[in-house]
Structure formats: C-alpha cells, structure tokens
C-alpha cells in the first residue's frame, strides 16, 4: 500500500529530503513531513557570501536564512545539512544573469537556479543519500498517473510558481513532491503557528537573492562596468532623439528613466546591444503577437499542443490564448490578440486546461520577438 507521498513503503522507512531555504514555506513542509512520521533530512543550500546584505534584505539561501533553517531543523528534531554551492551558483546563475542583461535581455535567475543547483544538483545529492523523494515548499500542484508526475498550477493562483519550474525534467518531476500546492498561503502561516515554528511570521523573500534591495545595476556594475556605456535613443521611425546612460539600465516596456519630452509617454520597445541603442515609442507599440523560443523543455505530449493551448510570458502575467508550433528549428508561439512588453530572456510557459486544472506542458526561453510596429 502506498503512503501519502505515493511511495510503496511505510512512512518511517521512507527517506524524505526537504529543501529548506529558511523561510516559512519550506519550514512548514519539513514540519508536515516530520509529523506524518517520515524519515526527514533538511538540506539548505548556501549560494552566495554577501551575508551582511542578505541578513538585512528579504532574500534566501545565505546569512540569516541558513541560521533559521538550522533552528527549525533542531526544533523539529530532524537531520540538517548545508551544501556549499557558491561556485556553481556564481558560474551558472549569476554569470548567466549578467550575460543576459548585458545583451539587452530580461533574465529570470530564479528559473535557472531551480534548473541547476536546486533541482539538478540537489536532486543528485538526494539520490546519493538514497532518498525516496525530494520535497520543496514551492506552490505547485503535482499529480501522479501510472507513476508519472504531472505538474499543474497551484490552488492559490496568487502564489503559483509553475512559471519558474517549466524546465523541470520528467525524471525530476517523478521524484519531487510539493505539499503546498493544494493550500493557500494564509493556511501555510496558520500551520506554521500551530507547529510553533519561529519563522511563522517571517516575511516572504521578494528580491532576487543576490541582488539586495532590487538594485540590478549594482551587481552588473561590479562585474561588467563597460555595460554602462552611453548610447543613442531612437524613435519608431529610426531618428535619434536622445541619449541613454547604458542599456543595462533599461528593460522592454520600461517608461522610467527615458528623460525625453514627448506629447505622450514613451516606453522602451527594443534594446539593440550590437549598436548599444534603445528604441522607444508609445505604449501601443509594445504589442507582440509572435515570439521565437530556444531551449524547449516538454512535459506534455505533442497531441496536447494541437488546440486550447495557453501561455504565460511573465511571472506575474495572465494565461494567454496561443498556438504553438514545435516543428520549426526555432519553435514559434502565436499569441492571439497579442501582448504588451514581451522581452527576450523571459520564459514562455505552456499550459492546457482540463477537468483538474491548468496543466503545465513545459516551456522555453524567449529568444526573439516580432514587433510589426518597428521600421527596422
């Protein structure tokens, strides 16, 4: 008979690794697993060394968060380990973030972190420990069909994190469990208080962990000072109308910082890193209806893409009706009705609704966008 995690073992003989960031979500998951009678080991990843700043901000995976994870583990009387992944995190997440921003993209380091050090490397380490499952505090609904893991948007759409996990492999999804996918955030905090966890009222992490106070420029300036070279600002007709102070200071759809007087507000429509220039235009010039993707990861079958596909092109965005062509060398997505401010470097995640909810079919990185408003 299978247990609540879908493993054909008794709970006490089921080895569970919990990824513990030091926040309330992963701490509650560890508490739930312990209370159910599983053999639990908590593992915390140390990803960067800027301890002073990380303890002052609202990030994860360094400083006070590691201390909190250790304290929760002691309180729950579970084993706890710290893995030191700073070098991997720097080479695979921070460097990628800097490279992407430097060429005018808008990267999502949280996806790359999940894809590499959190799921790939922690997955391997958990397997080495002979764990039966790896459990996290992500808000994801996971179902199992004939031993195969299926991913759905969480019950609490305001907390759903499926967008950030589109690159999860099928092998990883089969091994992963997400106990919070069926509850709302307020319930998580209630459980934390019932468990008397010292992190019950701890604020959620909001900033990118290695970007204290949300100042992306400070991180990039540290490693790539040449990215702040000034250049030209063009209008939609290709005329130079001003100067910018470095493409690194701009993202697609941005209005602030353009500093050009105009009859109507101007927004960043395109960033051209090869020419060190940006193109600006009115809000209606931001609409994109076709995007090309790279590095596709599929969790669904080809038949599921034939109709009723929806996509999400930013973490806070809504699901958009679309058609997906996976047969091209560069897979294309046609967004029905278009969407404003889509940027290369972001993710495009595929969904399909069924009688259970919104199933995640995979996704890819946005490589190029087709803006028909541009003259060049």
Residues carrying an active site annotation: 113, 209
Token match 């965005």: residue? 317
Q: By CB neighbour count within 10 A (0-12 exposed, 13-18 middle, 19+ buried), where does 247 fall?
A: buried
CA-CA distance, 189 to 172, in Å (whole number)?
Answer: 27
- DSSP annotation of 92 reads I
CA-CA distance, 188 to 170, in Å (whole number)?
Answer: 27
Return the closest-CA partner of residue 292 out of 351, 371, 375: 371
75: tokens are 């309180």
60: tokens are 């994860």
Q: Is 312 helix (H, G, I), strand (E, B) or coil?
A: strand
Return the closest-CA partner of residue 209 out of 89, 293, 295, 91: 89
Contact between 139 and 21 under an 8 Å Cβ cutoff? The reply is: no
Query: Terminal CA-to-CA distance of the chain, rounded, Å?
Result: 63
78: tokens are 């579970």
Return the closest-CA partner of residue 294 out of 370, 368, 369, 365: 365
Contact between 262 and 343 under an 8 Å Cβ cutoff? The reply is: no
HEC states along 97-165? HHHHHHCCCCCCHHHHHHHHHHHHHHHHHHHHCCCCEEECCCCEEEEEECCEEEEEECCCCCCCCHHHH
Contact between 347 and 365 under an 8 Å Cβ cutoff? The reply is: yes
């Amino acid at each position: 008979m299978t247990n609540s995690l879908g493993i054909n073992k008794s709970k006490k003989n089921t080895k569970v690794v919990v990824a513990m960031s030091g926040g309330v979500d992963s701490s509650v998951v560890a508490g739930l697993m312990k209370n159910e009678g599983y053999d639990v080991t908590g593992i915390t990843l140390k990803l960067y060394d800027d301890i002073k700043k990380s303890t002052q901000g609202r990030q994860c995976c360094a400083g006070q968060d590691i201390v909190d994870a250790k304290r929760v583990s002691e309180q729950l009387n579970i084993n706890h380990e710290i893995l030191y992944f700073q070098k991997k995190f720097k080479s695979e997440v921070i460097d990628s973030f800097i490279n992407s921003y430097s060429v005018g993209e808008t990267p999502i380091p949280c996806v790359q972190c999940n894809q590499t050090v959190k799921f790939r490397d922690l997955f391997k380490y958990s397997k080495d420990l002979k764990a039966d499952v790896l459990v996290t505090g992500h808000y994801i609904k996971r179902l199992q069909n004939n031993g195969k893991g299926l991913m759905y948007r969480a019950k609490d759409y305001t907390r759903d994190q499926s967008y950030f996990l589109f690159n999860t492999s099928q092998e990883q999804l089969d091994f992963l469990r997400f106990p919070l996918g069926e509850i709302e955030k307020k319930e998580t905090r209630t459980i934390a208080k019932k468990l008397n966890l010292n992190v019950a009222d701890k604020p959620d992490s909001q900033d990118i962990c290695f970007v204290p106070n949300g100042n992306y420029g400070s991180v990039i300036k540290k490693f790539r000072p040449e990215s702040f070279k000034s250049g030209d600002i063009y209008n939609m007709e290709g005329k130079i109308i001003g100067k910018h102070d470095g493409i690194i200071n701009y993202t697609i759809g941005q209005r602030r910082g353009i500093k050009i007087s105009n009859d109507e507000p101007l927004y960043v429509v395109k960033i051209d890193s090869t020419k060190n220039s940006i193109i600006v235009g009115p809000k209606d010039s931001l609409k994109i209806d076709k995007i090309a993707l790279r590095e596709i990861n599929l969790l669904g079958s080809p038949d599921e893409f034939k109709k009723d596909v929806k996509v999400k092109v930013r973490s806070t965005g809504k699901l958009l009706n679309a058609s997906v062509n996976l047969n091209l060398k560069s897979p294309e997505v046609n967004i029905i009705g278009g969407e404003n401010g889509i940027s290369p470097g972001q993710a495009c995640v595929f969904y399909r609704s069924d009688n259970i909810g919104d199933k995640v079919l995979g996704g890819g990185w946005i490589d190029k966008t087709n803006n028909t408003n541009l003259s060049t």
